[in-house]
Amino acid sequence: MLIFKFLIITIRVNMDVAVFGAGCFWCVEAIFSQLDGVQTVESGYCGGHVKNPTYQDICNGNTGHAEVCRIAFNPKTVSFEKLLIHFFKIHNPTTLNRQGNDIGTQYRSAIFYVNDEQKNTSNKLIKDLTKNNIFNNPIITEVTKLETFYIAEDYHQNYYKNNSNAPYCKAVIKPKINKFLDKSN
């Protein structure tokens, strides 16, 4: 039993965390769950001024929260920079408060950094993408220090995995996963 507890602690210690908002968290969770080196992806809320928000609260657009995913990853397998590159590939970081048909401040493009290294890496990549004209319009991704992550309700966790036959999953998430997997190989 002691060896088992040691292994769990070791696994957690070797993980880093990234927090991204790139539109609907169901899509973000489904895509990042595909990556080697990602241990867990949790849907939640960040960046607002209301404590313990619910999905209904953030949908009204008055809490200031974004739908985000907290990604636990092994930096020996996948770097934060590589996660950032995927982050910029899976959404449009030039649209204000919108990803496709999902409209509102909760769908904004956001990086919630946990340390100065993540902040600097994020800002450098945005600068490089801008310099190289990767996008037709200016990148408006918010880069903000992570203050509080509120985990979303249980039914939002592993949404695509648990609801892959739902219309939204078939029409929106599945094509995004297919596109992502085609480009990442």
Instruction: Confirm whether 46 is a catalytic residue.
Output: no
**Cβ distance 18 to 73 under 8 Å?**
yes
The dihedral formed by the CA atoms of 106, 111, 114 and 119, expressed in degrees to the nearest 10: -150
84: Cβ–Cβ under 8 A, 6 or more apart, which residues?
A: 18, 111, 121, 122, 125
CA distance 72 to 149: 13
Token code pair at residue 81:
């920079």
Catalytic, out of 24, 27, 69, 169: 24
CA distance 37 to 108: 26
Nearest residue to 64 (alpha-carbon basis) of 80, 51, 82: 51
Point out the residues that are catalytic: 24
